[in-house]
Amino acid sequence: MLILKAVKPTVLKRDPLKQASALPPDAKYALPLNATLELSASAPAANQHLQVTLKQPLHGFATWFAFAEHVQVINQAALEAAKDRAAVFNRFLIAATQPGFDQNKLAFLDRGVTDSAFANQVAVYPDRLRQLPDQRTIVSMGKTIQLSSTQQTVTFSLYPQTGIMPPIDQTGLGFLHADIQEACVCVGSVVNGQMNAHWLGRNALTLGQFWSATKLVPMLNVVSQANAKSATTRIQDCLIRAAQSPTDAWEFIEAAIDIVSYRKDDVVHDLMISNQLSDTLKRFSSLASLEQWFANLTGNKSLKFRGYYSEAPLIEEPVLQAGTTIILRAQPAGSGGENLISAYDLTRLISMLGWHLHLSPGSRLPAAQWHSLEAVVKSLGYDSARYVDVALQALGLIDSIRAPVILSKLGFGSSDRRRRTELCYTALVQFIDDRPQSKGLPAKLRTIALTLRAAAQKLKPTGERDLDEEARWLDARMAAEVTEILRRVVTEELA
């Protein structure tokens, strides 16, 4: 990994033969002291300059020139370089603040899966989640592990039964930046064929608005309800249609992908298909029943989940239909309210999904069958937010892992009441880490569920909030904190 570091305040230029003052704004870029950029190449150039090729273009250009005496090129292993957390964040912030990115389109939140290194692997995520370590060529973390940084011994406990809240280590996430208001991380380890876990948190049980990250809840509720009625019904073969209109129909899997990917949304024309489809799924339960179902899963009886995402569902009176059989019908909504849940609740839910096959029956999503949950697994592979992607790239791990699984759901919004922008991210990440093989050791299965909620307020000189700056800052912050969590997981500083 090549790093360009400014040893003096300097200016990158598109032309080494001209003074910076003579160049237009998009042909120069100021680098403050100690700022860093990741390079793919560097070479001597004219006029005592270095020609550098950037991994992340600036102003649309990858090739720039730096005055040689003002910069240093450092060749450093990516994992080692990532220990400099300020530098990692600054590199993400530079990428996040490039022209064209604002509160309506962010560099990482809205990157989309199309150009992801993992785009063509989403279809096999369900098969990869079936995998168990063979204890010969692939091992898990074991029942206990000694952290590499503190020598503290962490013991993994059997994943809790439905409705039972696990003990949460409230000290293990102290390294997270203060912008992260709430967090819950669950590190998994397969022991004797069953998932064991260690839970860590920062304000993990504090109730708050997690925005669209909560759309996972009605998706899983519909699966649970449908399989309770018919265990053999495959949800991906079902249609969601209007009760009075057989032609107004959506395949469940396509609706789920639309919800997660936002591929049919149009912010400019106020077309919010993701929100409206999520509200359509909420129509299959009364709001009180859905809230109770969610609370019974996580054991958090304080959560509130009676809010909607839009002004009206896409289908007001939906039915869920398999062939000619109607499985579910819309229910009276009842009294509404807010969606106020905790980081723990989302981490519990996404881990129940991803680890379903390795949980005891009493720890699983009630009635849900894997052949139906596979549809939700695939849909979460299409999340437009790609924080895990950029974290793995920043850590130099793309070529050192195999069989990756990335399930995630973003949440984002501006709160007038709290006068800040908030960004939420819940994810389950799993991969086989091949790096131990270089020391003659088996590869290691690493699997982790996480939920983070970040918040920021940035003001203009007039005292008004700068919504674009808040959004770009949080986009970079979330990328940096996910990177640090994964760095600590693979170096076994966190478990």
Assign 197 a pLDDT band (cuts: 50, 70, 90): very high
Note whether 307 and 350 are same-domain residues.
no
Q: Which residues of 434-464 are buried (b: 16+ CB within 10 A; e: fewer)?
A: beeeeeeebbbbbbbbbbbbbbbebeeeeee
Instruction: Tell me if 193 sits within 8 A of 159, measured CB to CB.
Output: no
The tokens of 222 are what?
């519909």
Give the model's pLDDT for residue 412.
Answer: 98
pLDDT at 208 over 80: yes
Cα gap 281→250, rounded to integer Å: 12
Mean pLDDT to the nearest integer, 212-238: 98
Does residue 248 register a pLDDT over 90?
Answer: no
Contact between 213 and 347 (Cβ < 8 Å): no
C-alpha span between 216 and 365 (Å, rounded): 13
Q: Angle of helix 287-298 relative to helix 216-229, nearest 10 degrees?
A: 90
**Claim to verify: residue 304 and residue 246 sit in the same structural domain:** yes
Are 196 and 156 within 8 A, CB to CB? yes
- Whole domain around residue 437: which residue ranges? 119-210+344-490
Q: What is the largest CA-CA distance in the chain?
A: 76
pLDDT tens-place string over residues 389-403: 999 999 999 999 999
pLDDT at 270 exceeding the cut of 80: no
Is residue 287 located within the same domain as residue 328? yes
User: Where does the pLDDT of residue 245 fall: very low under 50, low under 70, confident under 90, or very high at 90 and above?
Assistant: confident
Q: Could you tell me which residues come within 8 angstroms of residue 364 by beta carbon, excluding any fewer than 6 positions away? A: 162, 352, 356
pLDDT category at 151 given cuts 50, 70, 90 is confident
Q: Which of 281, 307, 337 is the last residue of a domain?
A: 337
Tokens representing residue 410 in the block: 């973003």
Asked whether residue 219 falls in the same domain as residue 193, the answer is no
Co-location of 331 and 282 in the same domain: yes
| pLDDT bucket at 244, cuts 50 / 70 / 90 | confident
Q: In this predicted model, what pLDDT tens digit does every residue of 368-427 receive, in sequence order?
A: 999 999 999 999 999 999 999 999 999 999 999 999 999 999 999 999 999 999 999 999
Q: Say what percent of the chain tops pLDDT 90.
A: 91
Quick check: is 380 in a domain? Answer: yes
Predicted local distance difference test score (pLDDT) of residue 135: 92
Give the pLDDT confidence score for residue 253 in this predicted structure.
97
Average pLDDT over residues 277-283: 97
Residue 106 has pLDDT above 80, yes or no: yes
Share of the chain above pLDDT 70, in %: 100
Closest to 1 in 3D by CA, of 57, 59, 54? 54
Would you say residue 269 has pLDDT above 90? Answer: no
For the cut 80, the answer to whether the pLDDT of residue 26 exceeds it is: yes
Instruction: Give pLDDT, residue 173.
Output: 98
pLDDT of residue 46: 87
The overall average pLDDT reported for the chain is 95
Burial 225-237 (b: 16+ CB within 10 A, else e): bbbeebeebbbbe
Q: What's the structural domain count of the chain?
A: 3
User: How is residue 319 written in tokens?
Assistant: 């039915």
d(CA 368, CA 402): 28
Same domain for 463 and 448? yes
**At residue 246, does pLDDT exceed 80?**
no
Q: Are residues 444 and 350 in the same domain?
A: yes
Distance CA 125, CA 480 (A): 25
Distance of CA 331 to the CA centre of its chain: 32
Lowest mean pLDDT: which of 3-7, 253-257, 295-299, 464-468?
3-7
Residues in the chain: 495
